[in-house]
């Protein structure tokens, strides 16, 4: 196995200089740092994580607590995970993915054992049982998702209330006066998924303010149930001219549902979803959407977390609450309502 001593000899420097050059703990000239890096690459050197943790109290590992719930669309959750892991890798950190059902126990285990330098939480609930433990942990924490009490941690999320208002206002400007809203499954709300009711509540309030008739339902997360529920919704409200989707599974199923009914967007039904541009490309979705930015939110959480880990004094700075303002990506699926019954 290649050691730091082998690197030092190959680069013509002392062991301590080689160590400092690789760790960045002290200022080393660019020429020497490059020489050491070249030697390490040529010899295939891989730092020993256990030894590094003992020497520096750092593991260079970020814990990511996330779960694939059966009532949520797994491909959408995966995008948040990739945003975290890709950024962590860019910054020189490995990611420990923890999917244990008992999130509190898992968090206690990885923080008390010093397995990680910091923690990112996904699947954040309104009253998240993991938060008191994370606030008291020796490692810093960051959330992708807004809880009821965001104190003591850094929080990053989409402004779902603003997203709901933007959806309604866009349809209102086009002349739509009867809209449908499909949200995530009701189980997500019961579990504390506040993003669902934040967007739904904003849509309901804005529709009322704009004089729009709104029919709001909770959707499904899997086929064929999600397709059946969309057919039932369109059957129940044949005069609705616009459809709003806060449900990725429903968005993925909608093209086949419209095709089966002989409908087109926006000729017969204007459509706005809430998902990422990458999600739209993956499922070939032609619908305009509010960008959910899972990769950006994951990146922001990790960069802030690493800053608190590595910057002297950063752990004592005030915590960050950042809500991304919604952006409407126009893919041509909205237009003024056609006269007559859309069927």
A 10 A CB-CB count for 194 gives 21
Mean pLDDT confidence for 122-149: 96
Looking at CATH, the fold of the domain delimited by 61-157+293-324 is given as Rossmann fold (3.40.50)
From CA 100, how far away is CA 113, in angstroms rounded? 16
**Using one digit for the tens of pLDDT, what is the confidence trace for 317-328?**
999 999 999 999
**Using one digit for the tens of pLDDT, what is the confidence trace for 8-65?**
899 998 887 887 777 665 667 888 888 888 888 888 876 554 445 444 457 899 999 9
**Using one digit for the tens of pLDDT, what is the confidence trace for 153-200?**
999 999 999 999 999 999 999 999 999 999 999 999 998 999 999 999
Structure tokens at 309: 């880990």
Identify the weakest region by mean pLDDT among 44-53, 280-289, 334-343: 44-53
Max avg pLDDT among 2-6, 21-25, 83-87, 219-223: 83-87
Structure tokens at 69: 């719930």
Tell me the pLDDT of the chain averaged across its residues. Answer: 91
Inform me whether the pLDDT recorded for 109 exceeds 90.
yes
Residue 341: band (very low, low, confident or very high) from pLDDT cuts 50, 70, 90:
very low
pLDDT at 24: 62
pLDDT at 15: 80
pTM of the entire predicted model: 0.82
**Using one digit for the tens of pLDDT, what is the confidence trace for 228-256?**
999 999 999 999 999 999 999 999 999 99
Closest by CA to 328, choosing from 293, 285, 284, is: 293
Q: Which long-range contacts (CB under 8 A, 24 or more apart) does 106-114 make?
A: 106/65, 107/63, 107/65, 107/133, 107/134, 107/137, 108/133, 110/63, 111/63, 111/137, 111/138, 111/139, 114/53, 114/57, 114/59, 114/138
* Percent share of the chain, pLDDT over 90: 73
* Percent share of the chain, pLDDT over 70: 93
pLDDT at 342: 43
CATH dotted code for 160-292:
3.40.50.2300
From CA 27, how far away is CA 182, in angstroms rounded? 56
Q: Where are the domains of the chain?
A: 4-47, 61-157+293-324, 160-292
pLDDT at 199: 97
Identify the weakest region by mean pLDDT among 67-76, 99-108, 274-283: 67-76
CATH match of 4-47 with 1.10.260.40? yes
A 10 A CB-CB count for 288 gives 21
Domain 61-157+293-324 identical in fold to domain 160-292: yes
pLDDT at 259: 97
């Amino acid at each position: 196995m290649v050691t730091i001593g082998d690197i030092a000899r190959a680069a013509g420097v002392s062991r301590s200089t080689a160590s400092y050059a690789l760790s960045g703990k002290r200022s080393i000239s660019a020429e020497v740092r490059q020489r050491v890096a070249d030697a390490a690459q040529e010899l295939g050197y891989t730092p020993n994580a256990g030894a590094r943790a003992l020497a520096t109290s750092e593991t260079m590992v970020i814990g990511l607590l996330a779960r694939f719930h059966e009532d949520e669309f797994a491909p959408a959750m995966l995008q948040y995970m990739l945003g975290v892991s890709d950024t962590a890798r860019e910054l020189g950190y490995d990611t420990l993915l923890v999917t244990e059902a008992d999130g509190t126990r898992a968090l206690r285990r990885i923080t008390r054992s010093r397995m990680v330098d910091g923690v990112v939480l996904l699947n954040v609930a309104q009253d998240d049982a993991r938060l008191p433990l994370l606030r008291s942990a020796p490692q810093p924490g960051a959330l992708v998702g807004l809880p009821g009490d965001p104190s003591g941690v850094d929080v990053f999320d989409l402004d779902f209330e603003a997203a709901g208002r933007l959806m309604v206002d866009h349809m209102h400007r086009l002349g739509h006066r009867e809209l449908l809203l499909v949200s995530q499954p009701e189980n997500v709300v019961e579990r504390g998924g506040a993003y669902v009711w934040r967007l739904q509540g904003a849509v309901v309030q804005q529709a009322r303010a704009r004089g729009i008739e709104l029919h709001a339902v909770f959707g499904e997360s899997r086929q064929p149930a999600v397709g059946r529920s969309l057919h039932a919704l369109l059957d129940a409200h044949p005069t609705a001219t616009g459809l709003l989707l806060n449900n990725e599974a429903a968005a993925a199923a909608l093209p086949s549902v419209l095709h089966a009914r002989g409908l087109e967007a926006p000729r017969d039904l204007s459509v706005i979803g809430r998902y990422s541009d990458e999600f739209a490309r993956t499922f070939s979705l032609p619908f305009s959407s509010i960008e959910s930015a899972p990769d950006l939110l994951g990146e922001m959480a990790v960069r802030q977390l690493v800053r608190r880990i590595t910057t002297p004094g950063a752990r004592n700075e005030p915590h960050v609450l950042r809500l991304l303002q919604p952006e409407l990506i126009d893919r041509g699926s909205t237009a003024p309502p056609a006269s007559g019954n859309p069927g």
